[in-house]
Chain A
Amino acid sequence: MAEITGIKEIIRPENLVYKRTKVMTDNILSYCPGCGHGTVHRILAEIIDEEGLQSETIGVSPVGCAVLMYNFLDIDCQEAAHGRAPAVATGIKRLLPDKFVFTYQGDGDLAAIGTAETIHACNRGENILMIFINNGIYGMTGGQMAPTTIPGMRSSTSPYGRDVKIMGNPLKMTDIVATLPGTYYVTRQSVHTPANVRRTKKAMRKAVQYQKLNRGACFIEIVSNCPSGWKMTPVESNKWMEENMIPFYPLGDLKTPPEEPASNLKPEAK
Chain B
Amino acid sequence: MAKVRGSIVVDIEKCKGCEVCMVSCPTGTIAMAGEVNSKGYNYAWPANPDLCIGCANCAMVCPDGVITVYKTKI
CB <8 Å contact, A34 and B18 = yes
Please give the residue numbers on chain B whose beta carbons come within 8 Å of chain A beta carbons, in ascending order. 5-7, 9, 13-14, 16-20, 23-24, 41, 49, 54, 56-57, 59-74
Given contacts A15-B71, A18-B67, A233-B19, 4 further A-B contacts (CB under 8 A): A20-B65, A28-B13, A33-B17, A227-B18
Of A103-111, A189-197, A259-267, the one with at least 4 CB within 8 A of chain B: A189-197
**Does A238 count as interface, using CB distance less than 8 angstroms?**
yes
**Does A213 count as interface, using CB distance less than 8 angstroms?**
no
Closest 10 CB pairs of A and B: A38-B63, A34-B18, A33-B16, A33-B18, A194-B57, A234-B18, A10-B7, A18-B69, A15-B70, A20-B65
Residues of A within 8 A of B67 (CB): 18
Which of B61, B62, B69, B74 has the largest count of A CB atoms less than 10 A from its CB? B61
Contact-residue bracket for chain A:
35 or more
CA distance A110 to B74 in the complex (A): 50
CB <8 Å contact, A11 and B61 = no
CB <8 Å contact, A11 and B74 = no
CA distance A32 to B17 in the complex (A): 10
